[in-house]
Amino acid sequence: MSNSSSISHFLLLPLADTRQLQLLNFCLFLGIFLAALLGNGLIIGAVACAHHLHSPMFFFLLHLALTDLGSILTTVPKAMHNSLWDTRNISYEGCAAQLFLFVFFMSGDYSLLTIMCYDRYVSICKPLHYGTLLGSRACAHMAAAAWASAFLNALLHTANTFSLPLCHGNALGQFFCEIPHILKLSCSYSKLREVGILALSACLGFGCFVFIVFSYLQIFRAVLRIPSEQGRHKAFSTCLPHLAVVSLFLSTGTFAYLKAPLHVLPIPGSGPVSSVLSGASSPEPPDLQPEEPGAQGCSVDTDHWTISETLNCCPISANHL
Protein backbone atom coordinates (compact mmCIF):
# COMPACT_ATOMS: atom_id res chain seq x y z
CA MET A 1 0.00 0.00 0.00
CA SER A 2 1.33 3.42 -0.93
CA ASN A 3 0.31 6.80 0.35
CA SER A 4 0.13 10.18 -1.35
CA SER A 5 2.76 11.53 1.04
CA SER A 6 5.29 9.03 -0.34
CA ILE A 7 4.54 9.66 -4.02
CA SER A 8 6.88 12.13 -5.68
CA HIS A 9 5.69 11.59 -9.25
CA PHE A 10 3.05 9.90 -11.39
CA LEU A 11 3.45 7.67 -14.43
CA LEU A 12 1.35 8.81 -17.36
CA LEU A 13 -0.16 6.46 -19.91
CA PRO A 14 2.37 5.72 -22.68
CA LEU A 15 1.10 6.59 -26.13
CA ALA A 16 3.05 3.90 -28.00
CA ASP A 17 5.36 0.97 -27.43
CA THR A 18 7.79 1.52 -30.30
CA ARG A 19 10.06 4.47 -31.02
CA GLN A 20 8.59 4.97 -34.48
CA LEU A 21 5.06 5.32 -33.11
CA GLN A 22 6.28 7.66 -30.39
CA LEU A 23 7.78 9.97 -33.01
CA LEU A 24 4.57 9.71 -35.02
CA ASN A 25 2.59 10.74 -31.95
CA PHE A 26 4.96 13.64 -31.42
CA CYS A 27 4.34 14.85 -34.97
CA LEU A 28 0.58 14.49 -34.46
CA PHE A 29 0.69 16.47 -31.22
CA LEU A 30 2.90 19.10 -32.85
CA GLY A 31 0.50 19.53 -35.77
CA ILE A 32 -2.51 19.86 -33.50
CA PHE A 33 -0.63 22.27 -31.24
CA LEU A 34 0.43 24.52 -34.11
CA ALA A 35 -3.06 24.45 -35.66
CA ALA A 36 -4.65 25.45 -32.35
CA LEU A 37 -2.03 28.14 -31.76
CA LEU A 38 -2.54 29.60 -35.23
CA GLY A 39 -6.33 29.41 -35.23
CA ASN A 40 -6.90 30.82 -31.78
CA GLY A 41 -4.11 33.35 -32.22
CA LEU A 42 -5.78 34.70 -35.36
CA ILE A 43 -9.12 34.94 -33.58
CA ILE A 44 -7.60 36.76 -30.61
CA GLY A 45 -5.60 39.09 -32.83
CA ALA A 46 -8.49 39.90 -35.15
CA VAL A 47 -10.95 40.61 -32.34
CA ALA A 48 -8.41 42.66 -30.40
CA CYS A 49 -7.27 44.78 -33.35
CA ALA A 50 -10.42 45.22 -35.46
CA HIS A 51 -12.52 47.99 -33.90
CA HIS A 52 -15.69 46.94 -35.73
CA LEU A 53 -15.45 43.58 -33.91
CA HIS A 54 -15.54 45.21 -30.48
CA SER A 55 -19.01 43.92 -29.70
CA PRO A 56 -20.36 41.61 -26.96
CA MET A 57 -20.41 38.52 -29.16
CA PHE A 58 -16.80 38.87 -30.27
CA PHE A 59 -15.74 39.95 -26.78
CA PHE A 60 -16.91 36.59 -25.45
CA LEU A 61 -15.44 34.83 -28.49
CA LEU A 62 -12.04 36.26 -27.60
CA HIS A 63 -12.32 34.83 -24.09
CA LEU A 64 -13.44 31.51 -25.52
CA ALA A 65 -10.36 31.41 -27.73
CA LEU A 66 -8.20 32.04 -24.65
CA THR A 67 -9.74 29.09 -22.80
CA ASP A 68 -9.25 26.82 -25.79
CA LEU A 69 -5.64 27.89 -26.16
CA GLY A 70 -5.10 27.42 -22.44
CA SER A 71 -6.44 23.87 -22.47
CA ILE A 72 -4.12 22.98 -25.35
CA LEU A 73 -1.10 24.51 -23.63
CA THR A 74 -1.95 22.60 -20.45
CA THR A 75 -1.90 19.09 -21.91
CA VAL A 76 -0.20 18.95 -25.31
CA PRO A 77 3.35 20.23 -24.57
CA LYS A 78 3.86 17.61 -21.84
CA ALA A 79 2.56 14.88 -24.14
CA MET A 80 4.96 16.07 -26.85
CA HIS A 81 7.84 16.01 -24.38
CA ASN A 82 7.01 12.49 -23.22
CA SER A 83 6.69 11.19 -26.78
CA LEU A 84 9.94 12.78 -27.91
CA TRP A 85 12.04 11.75 -24.93
CA ASP A 86 10.39 8.37 -24.28
CA THR A 87 9.36 9.10 -20.70
CA ARG A 88 6.18 8.78 -18.63
CA ASN A 89 7.05 10.77 -15.52
CA ILE A 90 5.28 13.87 -14.26
CA SER A 91 6.02 15.33 -10.84
CA TYR A 92 3.39 15.35 -8.11
CA GLU A 93 3.31 19.16 -8.17
CA GLY A 94 3.25 19.22 -11.97
CA CYS A 95 0.31 16.83 -12.02
CA ALA A 96 -1.59 19.00 -9.54
CA ALA A 97 -0.89 22.10 -11.63
CA GLN A 98 -1.94 20.36 -14.84
CA LEU A 99 -5.20 19.13 -13.32
CA PHE A 100 -5.98 22.57 -11.91
CA LEU A 101 -5.37 24.34 -15.22
CA PHE A 102 -7.30 21.77 -17.22
CA VAL A 103 -10.37 21.99 -14.98
CA PHE A 104 -10.01 25.78 -14.89
CA PHE A 105 -10.03 26.21 -18.65
CA MET A 106 -12.74 23.62 -19.26
CA SER A 107 -15.00 25.18 -16.62
CA GLY A 108 -14.39 28.63 -18.06
CA ASP A 109 -15.18 27.32 -21.53
CA TYR A 110 -18.55 25.95 -20.47
CA SER A 111 -19.41 29.12 -18.55
CA LEU A 112 -18.56 31.27 -21.57
CA LEU A 113 -20.64 29.09 -23.88
CA THR A 114 -23.58 29.59 -21.51
CA ILE A 115 -23.05 33.34 -21.47
CA MET A 116 -22.85 33.41 -25.26
CA CYS A 117 -26.19 31.62 -25.35
CA TYR A 118 -27.61 34.49 -23.31
CA ASP A 119 -26.10 36.89 -25.83
CA ARG A 120 -27.97 35.11 -28.63
CA TYR A 121 -31.18 35.12 -26.63
CA VAL A 122 -31.07 38.85 -26.00
CA SER A 123 -30.09 39.69 -29.58
CA ILE A 124 -33.00 37.71 -31.05
CA CYS A 125 -35.74 37.93 -28.43
CA LYS A 126 -35.02 41.34 -26.87
CA PRO A 127 -33.19 43.30 -29.59
CA LEU A 128 -34.35 46.70 -28.36
CA HIS A 129 -32.76 46.03 -24.95
CA TYR A 130 -29.53 44.60 -26.36
CA GLY A 131 -27.42 47.67 -25.64
CA THR A 132 -28.74 47.89 -22.10
CA LEU A 133 -28.55 44.23 -21.09
CA LEU A 134 -25.21 43.63 -22.78
CA GLY A 135 -23.37 46.89 -22.30
CA SER A 136 -19.61 46.99 -21.84
CA ARG A 137 -19.85 46.91 -18.05
CA ALA A 138 -22.31 44.01 -18.06
CA CYS A 139 -20.11 42.03 -20.45
CA ALA A 140 -17.05 42.64 -18.29
CA HIS A 141 -18.93 41.49 -15.19
CA MET A 142 -20.17 38.31 -16.90
CA ALA A 143 -16.71 37.46 -18.21
CA ALA A 144 -15.20 38.06 -14.77
CA ALA A 145 -17.86 35.83 -13.21
CA ALA A 146 -17.05 33.06 -15.70
CA TRP A 147 -13.33 33.20 -14.93
CA ALA A 148 -13.90 33.47 -11.16
CA SER A 149 -16.31 30.53 -11.05
CA ALA A 150 -13.90 28.45 -13.13
CA PHE A 151 -11.05 29.31 -10.75
CA LEU A 152 -13.04 28.35 -7.66
CA ASN A 153 -14.26 25.12 -9.26
CA ALA A 154 -10.73 24.14 -10.29
CA LEU A 155 -9.30 25.04 -6.88
CA LEU A 156 -11.96 23.00 -5.08
CA HIS A 157 -11.45 19.90 -7.21
CA THR A 158 -7.66 20.08 -7.20
CA ALA A 159 -7.35 20.63 -3.46
CA ASN A 160 -9.79 17.84 -2.69
CA THR A 161 -8.40 15.35 -5.21
CA PHE A 162 -4.81 15.72 -4.04
CA SER A 163 -5.78 15.52 -0.39
CA LEU A 164 -6.98 11.93 -0.87
CA PRO A 165 -4.71 9.09 0.29
CA LEU A 166 -3.47 6.97 -2.62
CA CYS A 167 -3.44 3.21 -2.13
CA HIS A 168 -3.04 1.85 -5.66
CA GLY A 169 0.32 3.04 -6.90
CA ASN A 170 1.10 6.01 -9.11
CA ALA A 171 0.36 4.80 -12.66
CA LEU A 172 -2.39 6.83 -14.36
CA GLY A 173 -4.53 5.42 -17.15
CA GLN A 174 -4.39 8.68 -19.08
CA PHE A 175 -1.71 10.67 -20.88
CA PHE A 176 -2.35 13.70 -18.67
CA CYS A 177 -3.57 14.20 -15.10
CA GLU A 178 -7.33 13.89 -14.86
CA ILE A 179 -9.62 13.53 -11.84
CA PRO A 180 -11.25 10.15 -12.65
CA HIS A 181 -7.88 8.46 -13.14
CA ILE A 182 -6.44 9.88 -9.92
CA LEU A 183 -9.54 8.72 -8.05
CA LYS A 184 -8.83 5.19 -9.27
CA LEU A 185 -5.57 5.34 -7.33
CA SER A 186 -7.17 6.57 -4.11
CA CYS A 187 -8.34 4.39 -1.25
CA SER A 188 -11.94 3.26 -1.66
CA TYR A 189 -13.06 4.74 1.66
CA SER A 190 -11.83 8.22 0.72
CA LYS A 191 -13.48 8.65 -2.68
CA LEU A 192 -16.95 9.67 -1.56
CA ARG A 193 -16.02 13.28 -0.80
CA GLU A 194 -14.67 13.98 -4.28
CA VAL A 195 -17.51 12.01 -5.87
CA GLY A 196 -19.91 14.27 -3.99
CA ILE A 197 -18.13 17.39 -5.27
CA LEU A 198 -18.21 15.98 -8.80
CA ALA A 199 -21.94 15.37 -8.41
CA LEU A 200 -22.42 18.97 -7.29
CA SER A 201 -20.46 20.23 -10.31
CA ALA A 202 -22.55 17.99 -12.54
CA CYS A 203 -25.73 19.51 -11.10
CA LEU A 204 -24.43 23.02 -11.79
CA GLY A 205 -23.45 21.98 -15.28
CA PHE A 206 -26.91 20.52 -15.82
CA GLY A 207 -28.38 23.84 -14.69
CA CYS A 208 -26.37 25.59 -17.42
CA PHE A 209 -27.61 22.98 -19.89
CA VAL A 210 -31.24 23.64 -18.92
CA PHE A 211 -30.64 27.38 -19.35
CA ILE A 212 -29.18 26.81 -22.82
CA VAL A 213 -32.08 24.58 -23.89
CA PHE A 214 -34.70 27.00 -22.56
CA SER A 215 -32.98 29.95 -24.23
CA TYR A 216 -32.87 28.24 -27.60
CA LEU A 217 -36.51 27.22 -27.35
CA GLN A 218 -37.36 30.90 -26.89
CA ILE A 219 -35.02 31.86 -29.74
CA PHE A 220 -36.57 29.40 -32.19
CA ARG A 221 -40.07 30.51 -31.24
CA ALA A 222 -39.12 34.12 -31.89
CA VAL A 223 -37.40 33.31 -35.19
CA LEU A 224 -40.34 31.31 -36.51
CA ARG A 225 -42.58 34.34 -35.96
CA ILE A 226 -40.46 36.44 -38.33
CA PRO A 227 -42.54 36.88 -41.50
CA SER A 228 -39.77 37.09 -44.10
CA GLU A 229 -37.61 34.13 -45.07
CA GLN A 230 -34.54 36.33 -45.33
CA GLY A 231 -35.11 37.62 -41.82
CA ARG A 232 -35.41 34.07 -40.46
CA HIS A 233 -32.23 33.05 -42.25
CA LYS A 234 -30.26 35.97 -40.80
CA ALA A 235 -31.63 35.30 -37.32
CA PHE A 236 -30.70 31.62 -37.49
CA SER A 237 -27.22 32.52 -38.68
CA THR A 238 -26.58 34.32 -35.39
CA CYS A 239 -27.19 31.25 -33.24
CA LEU A 240 -26.76 28.00 -35.20
CA PRO A 241 -22.90 28.04 -35.15
CA HIS A 242 -22.94 28.53 -31.38
CA LEU A 243 -25.56 25.79 -30.99
CA ALA A 244 -23.41 23.43 -33.06
CA VAL A 245 -20.36 24.06 -30.85
CA VAL A 246 -22.38 23.61 -27.65
CA SER A 247 -23.86 20.37 -28.96
CA LEU A 248 -20.42 19.07 -29.90
CA PHE A 249 -18.99 20.07 -26.53
CA LEU A 250 -21.75 18.39 -24.51
CA SER A 251 -22.22 15.27 -26.63
CA THR A 252 -18.56 14.39 -26.82
CA GLY A 253 -17.98 15.18 -23.16
CA THR A 254 -20.92 13.02 -22.10
CA PHE A 255 -19.81 10.18 -24.35
CA ALA A 256 -16.24 10.38 -23.10
CA TYR A 257 -16.91 10.30 -19.39
CA LEU A 258 -19.90 7.97 -19.35
CA LYS A 259 -18.79 5.22 -21.72
CA ALA A 260 -15.17 5.82 -22.72
CA PRO A 261 -13.20 2.60 -23.16
CA LEU A 262 -9.78 3.14 -21.60
CA HIS A 263 -7.96 0.86 -24.03
CA VAL A 264 -8.38 3.19 -27.01
CA LEU A 265 -5.34 5.16 -28.13
CA PRO A 266 -5.55 8.72 -26.77
CA ILE A 267 -5.00 11.92 -28.70
CA PRO A 268 -4.85 15.52 -27.45
CA GLY A 269 -7.76 17.21 -25.72
CA SER A 270 -8.68 14.39 -23.36
CA GLY A 271 -7.93 10.74 -22.91
CA PRO A 272 -8.77 8.05 -25.42
CA VAL A 273 -10.13 8.76 -28.86
CA SER A 274 -13.61 8.33 -27.48
CA SER A 275 -12.89 10.88 -24.78
CA VAL A 276 -10.71 13.29 -26.74
CA LEU A 277 -13.56 15.75 -27.02
CA SER A 278 -14.57 15.53 -23.37
CA GLY A 279 -12.63 18.70 -22.74
CA ALA A 280 -13.11 20.09 -26.19
CA SER A 281 -14.28 23.49 -25.77
CA SER A 282 -13.37 26.07 -28.21
CA PRO A 283 -14.34 29.05 -30.22
CA GLU A 284 -16.89 28.61 -32.92
CA PRO A 285 -15.48 27.92 -36.37
CA PRO A 286 -14.32 31.25 -37.78
CA ASP A 287 -15.97 30.49 -41.09
CA LEU A 288 -19.25 30.03 -39.26
CA GLN A 289 -19.10 33.09 -37.05
CA PRO A 290 -22.47 34.82 -37.02
CA GLU A 291 -22.78 38.54 -37.34
CA GLU A 292 -23.62 40.72 -34.40
CA PRO A 293 -27.28 41.73 -34.68
CA GLY A 294 -28.11 45.36 -34.29
CA ALA A 295 -31.04 47.02 -32.67
CA GLN A 296 -33.42 45.57 -35.24
CA GLY A 297 -32.74 42.05 -34.02
CA CYS A 298 -32.67 40.34 -37.39
CA SER A 299 -30.79 42.91 -39.41
CA VAL A 300 -27.14 42.05 -39.69
CA ASP A 301 -24.14 44.20 -40.48
CA THR A 302 -22.26 42.43 -43.23
CA ASP A 303 -19.01 44.04 -42.11
CA HIS A 304 -18.89 41.54 -39.29
CA TRP A 305 -18.25 38.79 -41.80
CA THR A 306 -14.72 40.19 -42.15
CA ILE A 307 -13.49 37.91 -39.39
CA SER A 308 -14.91 34.93 -41.26
CA GLU A 309 -12.93 35.82 -44.34
CA THR A 310 -9.79 36.63 -42.35
CA LEU A 311 -9.86 33.44 -40.29
CA ASN A 312 -11.28 31.06 -42.87
CA CYS A 313 -8.35 28.68 -42.49
CA CYS A 314 -8.70 28.29 -38.73
CA PRO A 315 -9.91 24.97 -37.31
CA ILE A 316 -12.83 24.78 -34.91
CA SER A 317 -10.36 23.65 -32.28
CA ALA A 318 -7.33 21.51 -31.98
CA ASN A 319 -9.33 19.45 -29.53
CA HIS A 320 -11.94 18.87 -32.19
CA LEU A 321 -9.61 17.52 -34.81
What's the whole-model pTM score?
Answer: 0.74
- Calculate Rg over the CA atoms of the chain: 21
At 154-191, the pLDDT tens digits run: 999 998 888 888 887 888 877 888 888 888 888 766 66
Lowest mean pLDDT among 71-75, 100-104, 238-242: 238-242
Mean pLDDT of 231-244: 80
C-alpha–C-alpha distance, residues 52 and 195, integer Å: 46
Is 80 exceeded by the pLDDT of residue 107? yes
The torsion of the CA quartet 79, 75, 28, 111, rounded to 10 degrees, works out to: 170
| pLDDT confidence of residue 270 | 37
At 183-212, the pLDDT tens digits run: 888 876 666 777 788 888 888 889 899 999
Is 60 exceeded by the pLDDT of residue 55? yes
> In a 3-state reduction of DSSP, which class is residue 166?
strand
C-alpha–C-alpha distance, residues 67 and 71, integer Å: 6
What CATH number is given to the structural domain containing 111?
1.20.1070.10
> In a 3-state reduction of DSSP, which class is residue 279?
coil
Q: How many domains, in total, are found in the chain? A: 1
Angle at Cα 262 formed by Cα 258 and Cα 264, nearest 5°? Answer: 115
pLDDT over 90 for what percent of the chain?
A: 22
The per-type count for the chain, helices as H runs and strands as E runs, is: 10, 2
| pLDDT confidence of residue 189 | 65
Q: Domain of residue 135: give its range.
A: 4-320
Lowest mean pLDDT among 204-208, 223-227, 303-307: 303-307
C-alpha–C-alpha distance, residues 162 and 165, integer Å: 8
| pLDDT confidence of residue 160 | 87
Contacts of 214 (CB under 8 A, 6+ apart): none
Mean pLDDT of 73-92: 85
Res. 259 pLDDT band, cuts 50 70 90: low
At 10-22, the pLDDT tens digits run: 888 777 777 888 8
| pLDDT confidence of residue 188 | 67
Query: Cβ(69)–Cβ(148) under 8 Å?
Result: no
Mean pLDDT of the chain: 76
Mean pLDDT of 52-76: 89
| pLDDT confidence of residue 292 | 47
| pLDDT confidence of residue 282 | 41
At 269-290, the pLDDT tens digits run: 333 333 333 433 444 444 444 4
| pLDDT confidence of residue 54 | 83
